[in-house]
Structure 1
Amino acid sequence: MNSPQAKVWRKVMRGFYLSFDVAVIGTLIVLAGLFYVHTYGGIVVGRHPEKLVLRESSILVASDGTKLRKIPLPESGYRAKAHLEDMPDLLLDTILAVEDRSFYRHNGLDYKGIARAVYTNSIHMRISEGGSTITQQLARNLYLNRDQTLLRKLNEASIALSLEKRLSKHDILELYLNEIYMGDGQFGIKSAAEHYFGVTDLKKLSVAQIASLAAIPKGPSIYNPLHKGDLPVQRRNIVLGIMKHQGLITRDEMISAINTKYQPPAELDPPVLGASYMDAALKEASQRTGTTLEELKTGGYTIVTGMNMAAQAALEDTFANPDFFPPDGKDQQVEAAMVIMDYRTGEIVALAGGRHPAAGSLNRAVVDARQPGSAFKPIIAYGPALENGKFSPDSMLQDRKIAYGSYKPQNLGGAYQGQMTMRQALQQSVNAPAVWLLQQVGITKAIQFAAKLGIPLTSEDANLSIALGGVHSGVSPLKMAQAYSVFASGGMYREAHLVRQVTDSKGRVLYAYRPDERQVISYSTAENMTSMLRGVVNEGTGMKARMNRPVAGKTGTTQLGLPGVSSKGNRDLWFVGYTPEWTGAVWMGFDRTDADNYMTAGSGKAAALFSAVMRRGLER
């Protein structure tokens, strides 16, 4: 049947079948899309519950409460979290008026907004960000990137629906206000308020400040108050107009806020003080709390340290003056490290791990890597001799060239007096009497004595060369300060520590230092040692450490000992001593000592540095 009517009928039927097929396929696509939207988000949110726990910058605090440092998050920004209850109603109402007026009425998607966005996108033939609710913005920021594709928008919608099912509106808004990027490295409203306005109590924000904060999310890089130009003010004033239109503020309040000129905080970027100190404090806090360093840095913890701001500033200012240091080597700068400890409490009041310390750099103040030279004599020879009761500062010691098997110690300069008092031997830092005395006391007892002072030694150190500071693994300025603090405190051991307290983001105390005082050597031993060490400073090798107050201490030098290089070359220069207030340990040297990088200066340099730092720190 090939009549015209039949041909028309066949065309109609083909059209009908095609339309039916298209409708079926379209329906299936819509159903698949709906299924995808309603399942994808639940899977993503369920697999990544950690995304709902925002990382927060931890804070290190000095002993006087001064904020030392906010620790940057892995994304190189800062966040301080706040509860909705901590935020003023005007701020919340303004954010909703600007970002999502139907927030409390929708289920995560604003369908009218989406329709408007689709219409606009169709006209401009591109996909934009229009139509996003606060929940969608939160979904994107937590789980997605900012690619402007249809799939990303579907994923965003799916996750937003899932978030609305799992969380209350209160929790979603709180997450959003703490997560949102606010420009200049700041995440969240609280961090932004403090950074841009110096306001820590959000309920003290002014109308102008609230409008400025609500203006930022639209364009964090161009609308934050620090951006140069008129854009931040223009955007703020638009927000003020919205606030007035919504009845949130009066006309007079709007005009007053429009006429308000932005004033940044006095110290927007305060100088970083104590980089080495803070690194060491974080490691100590991690050990004491059992928290990983990563978690400790990003968990919103507050770490209160024992840092004395005056002492730390004096230490770093002095370290910045090259006049206090020996000349640099051929391809290295002379380095230094210093620890200052309040021996009355055990707190480290100042610490520097190098002349130009930076976060994460080598912390020479806490690394056991340097030979202490004669600064070790009080710890390993003279202290044990006084403690066993058979020797006093006036006891006569042998000063002769003696061979102890293959070990043949020598006095510097090759001069020997036959015998001298313990006080004289320490004051002039003569080698032979110290080795002879260690043999008389016994290496085992001497090692036990050093351990009581906080310096454990190994079997590899069980030889007479430790009398002159030949420690196998080396010691750190921190351990030397710890040991001398026992002498300073009348024989009392107080553990050296940097951290007073650690609290979590909710203010709960996770760790608090508990003093543990122990009398580890006799009071008379400590007093006799202090008397002798004051003689070292007043009349002996440590005279450059003298100050306007009593100082007790000991110099230390380790020689270079490289063939073909001057016998006056040195590897390490030390001074360890104490005033009536603090103990300090100074080390100087090269990171890699060789024929091109060594010092010809003596330990007087270290003593002079000790004096300069301690004098300035105690006078402030």
Structure 2
Amino acid sequence: MRFLWVTLAKLAAVFVAVLGFYLIYLDSSLTKRFASERYEASAIVYARPLQLAPQQPLRPQQLLQELQQLRYRESATLAQSGSYRTQGRSIEVHRRPFDFADGPAMAQKVRVQFARNGVIEHLQSMPDGRALNRFQIDPLVLGQVTAENGEDRLIVGLERLPSLLIETLLLVEDRDFYHHAGVSLSSIGRAALANLAAMDTVQGGSTLTQQLVKNLYLSREQTLLRKANEALMALIIDFRFSKDEILETYFNEIYFGQDGGRAIHGVGLASRFYFGKQVEELSPAEMAMLVAIVKGPSYYNPYRYSERVRERRDMILQLMFAQQLINQRTYLAALEEPLVSSRQERQGRTWAPHYLAQVKHELSQLQVPEDWNEQGLRVFTYFDPMAQQAVENSIAEQLPRLSESKELQVAAVIANHQQASLSAIVGDRDRQQLGFNRATGAMRQVGSLIKPTIYGLALAQPGSYNLASIVQDTPITLEAVDGQVWQPENYDGEFVGAIMLYDALAQSRNVPAVKLALEVGIDTIVTKLRQGGIDTPIPSVPALALGSVELSPLQMTELYGVWAHYGRYRPYTTIAALTNHDGLRLYEHQPSAGREVFDPLSTALVNYGLRGVVNEGTGKRLAELFGLDAMAGKSGTTNDYRDSWFVAYDAQRLMTVWLGRDDNKPIQLTGATGALPVLANTFSQLGVQPLDVALPAPLQYQAFHPQTGIPIPDGCREQRTFPAFPVNVAEDMNCAGEIEEKSWWEKIF
């Protein structure tokens, strides 16, 4: 017996020593990992917040549509944030609290009064009636950039969690959380009694700390060794970290189910996924449902097993009522609430996958902290849900009308040329189709879209060219170095002879463009295109004048941004600002002045010509819809009708549309018959802000002879008027552009 006791004592000593060393190892490694590597947070990508201001163009239906997309609820009382109501020509909104890129904003009520002409008349704070100059609505969640492990979460601080949610979770999962040391024998016993009384598993025996350890560091196998390891690790974490730190980590780590290929982790993202709300807005019934899911997200999937989840949710509500966490009225009302909102087409998924792909690309180019996934990232973009939905609706409506072929593809880009930002991107006729993004990756010949660069170079030589200059639309034959002969032709197969430069641009005549290109120099055109942001191959050949270069819709958008923004090039971006989940700003986009590609005067002359394309040329459908001089634009059609392009802009928006086939076969559509209807339909939904047509000094309107292009006196019956540099017209010049000899009597008097 003595030998046995001595042996047992030695074994016990060895066990204690091994256990001690193991605890020391666990303490050092676990403490470090829990402090710095608890979880990887995703990057939450937001759309632009809708800015409201007096005199801003906005129709009531557009605001209602945005609120419904944000899942605001119509309410007669506006008691809760995230609600709205209509009152005649006004809409009253109770905004949710939100941490914007420029700082947090509390929940607030506002009345938006609309004028009859489709603009905001005034904004008023409620209930005091104070006038507001600016108000913004919390933005739509566009999507997430997840960690490599596929987990997705939105980190929420403990201070933002409703106390009722915390109390309910502790009531169901770990009542003694603030009183035990990480492991609780009494909790195990009480859970067994509660489960026996309810004839169901309504409480768990493991503490929250044990559950957290299991989720973070251990496997799911049910063995005594794993349970023992779990208990030791729970004791260490409870000793090293505060209860609030552990509870906050639990709320952000807990698994709430799958959404396709991504795992929903944390109560913040679960609240958005299931209810479209921030966690602060959850009702008691919604809190109870989330707590119900904790027990087993697959088993208690509300979309697959609604009755099973409802029974558990109602049981938790009964516990909440029994423990006086809610009163009887709240309890009875909560029992009648639906489990979750109905599944919507875009719920839990990205709004615009091609836009999000561009966000991810730009994010990889920015210098963000390498450890951003520890604190999370909030990406504030320029994405405009109204613009995206408008262009998607236009594509869905117009493409079947334009062609019966399902092979007809489309790409569209909408930008704000004032901000140098991208508002909407479509890279496929199927708006949810992932993969090839034609808006950024489809390199196609651009046809006549290249012509404004040629005309800009000519008009930058005021001593040689102006809008009234006569150019020749006559046959031309060019021979290449290899002996091949090229004879460019016009779209209609005709030659009109002498034609004004303005008309050649507005009518998109090919031959005058080729001749001008040879005059200004092909290499000079290539240089200008490089200055305009084109960094892909550009062939230095005469055919460049007719668009033989291959560019993407995004490149064309930036190139036409030069004309829309005073002749200056600026790269366009999707990302407005970056913050971590605590609101610390990491990056902010500041639109630069850009680099000058064309001087403001030659830019104004080209813009006049591009307004002519809309007023009387291939884009006149836009003038019929929105009025003369409201927009400027240009069509583009390539050989054999393989590509259909149209680019147009108003005072704020710039839009590019391309139609074609991936196999480059003809589509039998011109820029005016294919791309233009999609663009026109989109602007019809969004509205147009007319261009500012004021001329920069010293340009002024000048009369020209319609056949010769010579400056003539104002007031002639037959004249063409164009902006031009000031010209002194001789006093004795007649309307034919000739100097009249005056008699001695006329010279005196």
Instruction: Name the TM-score class by shorter chain.
Output: 0.7 to 0.9
SS in 1 for 2:441: coil
What's the counterpart of residue 218 of structure 1? 295
Partners in 2 of 1:161 and 1:457 — Cα distance? 61
Q: What secondary structure, in the 3-state scheme, does the structure 2 residue paired with 1:588 have?
A: strand
1:387 counterpart = 2:467: no
Q: What does residue 72 of structure 2 align with?
A: none
Aligned length: 574
Residue of structure 1 equivalent to 2:170 = 96
1:112-149 deviation digits (Å, cap 9, x = unpaired): 5679999xxxxxxxxxx974221111111011221112
How many angstroms does 1:301 deviate by? 2.7
Q: Distance in 1 between matches of 2:243 and 2:684?
A: 59
Contact 2:42/2:146 (CA < 8 Å) preserved in 1? Answer: yes
Distance in 1 between residues matched to 2:687 and 2:641, nearest whole Å: 31
**Distance in 1 of aligned mates of 2:632 and 2:330:** 67
Residue 363 of structure 1 and its aligned partner are, at CA, apart by 1.8
The alignment status of 1:617 with 2:686, answered yes or no, reads yes
Q: Which amino acid aligns with 2:514?
A: V
Does the CA contact (< 8 Å) of 1:409 and 1:435 recur in 2? no
After superposition, the Cα gap between the structure-2 partners of 1:166 and 1:463, relative to the gap in structure 1 and judged at 3 Å, is farther
**Cα distance in 2 for residues equivalent to 1:213 and 1:140:** 19
Amino acid corresponding to residue 109 of structure 1 in structure 2 = V
State the partner residue of 1:9. none
Give the match's secondary structure for 2:438: coil
Report the counterpart of residue 283 of structure 1 in structure 2: 361
Q: Is the 8 A contact 2:650 2:688 kept in 1?
A: no
Contact 1:335–1:589 (8 Å) recurs in 2 = yes
> What are the within-5 Å matches in structure 2 for residues 561-572 of structure 1?
569-572=640-643
In the aligned structure 2, how far is the partner of 1:608 from the partner of 1:89? 54
Bigger Cα displacement from structure 2, 43-52 vs 272-281: 43-52
Q: Does structure 1 residue 400 correspond to structure 2 residue 475?
A: yes
SS in 2 for 1:366: helix
User: 2: distance between equivalents of 1:534 and 1:499?
Assistant: 31
1:385 deviates by 0.9
Structure 2 residue aligned with 1:587, among 635, 641, 658?
658
SS of the aligned residue for 1:171 comes to helix
- Report the Cα offset of residue 21 of structure 1: 5.4
Letter in 1 for 2:655: G
1:59 aligns with 2:45: yes
Find 1:477's aligned residue among 549, 553, 567. 553
Q: Deviation per CA, 1:253-312, whole angstroms, max 9, x where unpaired?
A: 6854664534634776646533222321332244344467xx778864332222333222
Match of residue 583, structure 2, among 485, 504, 507: 507
Q: 1: CA distance between counterparts of 2:364 and 2:145?
A: 17
Report if the CA contact (8 A) 1:556-1:575 is conserved.
Answer: yes
Q: Report if aligned partners of 2:267, 2:279 keep a CA contact under 8 Å in 1.
A: no
SS in 2 for 1:397: strand
1:200-227 deviations in Å (ceiling 9; x for gaps): 253x554444444433322334446656
* Contact 2:47–2:385 (CA under 8 A) maintained in structure 1: no
Alignment of 1:126-137 (within 5 A): 131-137=205-211
* Residue in structure 2 matching 1:411, options 489, 494, 497: 489
- Going from structure 1 to structure 2, the CA distance change for 1:324 and 1:311 (only over 3 Å counts) comes to farther
Q: Which residues of 2 match residues 219-368 of structure 1 at below 5 A? A: 219-223=296-300, 228-243=305-320, 247-249=323-325, 252=328, 256=332, 259-262=335-338, 264-265=340-341, 270=346, 272-290=350-368, 300-321=376-397, 322-328=399-405, 333-358=407-432, 360-367=434-441
Gaps of 5+ in 1: 1-12, 119-128, 560-568
- The question of whether the paired residues in 1 share the 8 Å contact of 2:475 and 2:487 is answered with no
Aligned equivalents of 2:317, 2:449: Cα separation in 1: 68
Structure 2 gaps, min length 5: 51-137, 193-202, 690-749
How has the CA–CA distance of structure 1 residues 492 and 251 changed in structure 2, closer, same or farther, with 3 Å as cutoff? closer
Please identify which structure carries the higher strand content.
2
1:429-466 deviation line (CA, Å, top 9, x unaligned): 333322221121123432333344333565x5333222
The one-character-per-residue Cα deviations of 1:509-548 (angstroms, maximum 9, x if unpaired) are 2222213225542333223222322333344344455532
- C-alpha separation in 1, matches of 2:327 and 2:539: 81
Alignment of 1:9-48 (within 5 A): 28=14, 32=18, 35-36=21-22, 39-40=25-26, 42-43=28-29, 46=32
Q: In structure 1, what residue type is equivalent to 2:438?
A: R
- Does residue 172 in structure 1 map to residue 271 in structure 2? no
2:614 pairs with 1:537 = yes
The SS at the match of 1:467 is helix
1:529-585 deviations in whole A, cap 9, x for unaligned?
2232233334434445553233432222222xxxxxxxxx33322112223442221
Q: Distance in 2 between matches of 1:520 and 1:375?
A: 17
Q: Which residue of 2 aligns with 1:573?
A: 644
> What are the equivalent positions in structure 2 for 1:553-568 lying under 5 Å apart?
553-559=633-639
Question: Which segment is superposed worse, 366-375 or 76-85?
Answer: 76-85
Matched, 1:378 2:452: yes
Residue 487 in structure 1 maps to residue 563 in structure 2: yes
The worse-fitting range, judged by mean Cα deviation, of 476-485 and 139-148 is: 476-485
| Higher relative contact order (Cα pairs below 8 Å, separated by 6+ residues) | 1
Contact 1:300 1:505 (C-alpha < 8 Å) held by counterparts: yes
Cα 1:264–1:170 shift into 2, 3 Å = same
8 Å CA contact 2:353–2:433 kept in 1: the answer is yes
Query: Does 36-45 or 159-168 show the bigger shift?
Result: 36-45
CA contact (8 A) 1:545 1:610 kept: no
Instruction: Assess, with a 3 A threshold, how the Cα gap between structure 1 residues 69 and 311 changes in structure 2: closer, same or farther.
Output: closer
Cα distance in 2 for partners of 1:578, 1:487 equals 9
Aligned-partner Cα distance in 1 for 2:38–2:493: 72
Which residue identity lines up with residue 430 of structure 1 in the other structure?
R
Q: Which has the higher helix share?
A: 1
Deviation at 1:484, TM superposition (A): 2.1
| Cα distance in structure 1, aligned partners of 2:289 and 2:278 | 16
Separation in 2 of the partners of 1:462 and 1:258?
Answer: 72
The one-letter code matched in structure 1 to 2:683 is M
Deviation at 1:481? 2.0
Q: CA 1:221–1:427 in structure 2 vs 1: closer, same or farther (change >3 Å)? A: same
1:30 Cα shift?
Answer: 6.6
Distance in 1 separating the partners of 2:382 and 2:327: 51
Describe the shift of the 1:94–1:274 C-alpha distance in structure 2 as closer, same or farther (beyond 3 A): closer
**Structure 1 CA distance for aligned equivalents of residues 424 and 590 of structure 2:** 20
What letter corresponds to residue 61 of structure 1 in structure 2? A
Higher mean Cα deviation, 369-378 or 77-86? 77-86
Would you say the 8 A contact 1:196–1:265 is kept in 2?
yes
Q: What SS is found at the alignment partner of 1:573?
A: strand
- Helix, strand or coil at the partner of 1:486: helix
